[in-house]
Structure 1
């Protein structure tokens, strides 16, 4: 099994966010009991917190690009690391980096179980 599967899942996640919005994409790609670490505030814990928080996301556009991925020898857990850009009203508000921990689901799809990131002063170059 190749780490490319996680890169592809993360790219599909971003593509959905561009088509349908950040909120619906984060709800769709989160596992049943996800955790999101957010700088400056308490983490989002669990499905209901995700649905509540991401159902209210409007006015901003988050886009990201995975730069690296790895899958565990068990073939059911892995991570992606990448860079993101946050825009509001077409204007860039922030750049940053993120890491997502992904778990393979019963149906063979990948969903993230933990997501977090932080801002950077400039766009991050590809490592």
Structure 2
């Protein structure tokens, strides 16, 4: 398993969010027992909390791009780090950075087990 495959998974995750909506993508790419850290809010813990929260999300207001990834020597855990843009009604409302921790599933696919991020005062350029 290569780092590029993990970056490609994160990009596919974003592509699905743009095509089918952020909520549907977060449900599809989350592992069975995910955690989401949300600044200023309680974390989302577990599959049912994800489905309940993200089923209410419509549109594709969030877009992101992975900038770095690493995979553990064991080949079963990895992370992606990147930047995101938040839009409302087509207008940019915020920028930030995120980190997703991914776990390789029994079928060889990657699903995130933990996701979180924070806002930045301006777009991140790396």
| Short-chain TM bin | over 0.9
Runs of 4+ in 1 over 2 A off after TM superposition: none
SS of residue paired to 1:27: helix
Report the TM-score, using the length of structure 1 for normalisation.
0.97
Deviation at 1:59, TM superposition (A): 5.0
Segments of structure 1 that go 5 or more residues without pairing to the other structure are none
- In structure 1, the residue matched to 2:109 is 109
Aligned partners of 2:57, 2:15: CA distance in 1, in Å?
Answer: 17
Asked whether the 8 Å contact 1:32–1:47 carries over to 2, the reply is yes
Aligned partners of 2:2, 2:60: CA distance in 1, in Å?
Answer: 33
Segments of structure 2 that go 5 or more residues without pairing to the other structure are none
- In structure 1, the residue matched to 2:8 is 8
Aligned partners of 2:85, 2:114: CA distance in 1, in Å?
Answer: 19
Aligned partners of 2:105, 2:60: CA distance in 1, in Å?
Answer: 29
Aligned partners of 1:111, 1:29: CA distance in 2, in Å?
Answer: 5
SS of residue paired to 1:15: helix
Aligned partners of 1:111, 1:59: CA distance in 2, in Å?
Answer: 22
In 2 relative to 1, CA 66–92 (structure 1 residues): closer, same or farther, beyond 3 Å? same
- In structure 2, the residue matched to 1:36 is 36
- In structure 2, the residue matched to 1:23 is 23
Say what the alpha-carbon RMSD is for the aligned residues. Answer: 0.8
Figure out how many residues of one structure are paired with residues of the other and give that number: 126
Answering whether residue 64 of structure 2 is matched by residue 64 of structure 1, we say yes
Asked whether the 8 Å contact 2:18–2:60 carries over to 1, the reply is no
Report the TM-score, using the length of structure 2 for normalisation.
0.98
Asked whether the 8 Å contact 1:16–1:25 carries over to 2, the reply is yes
SS of residue paired to 2:40: coil
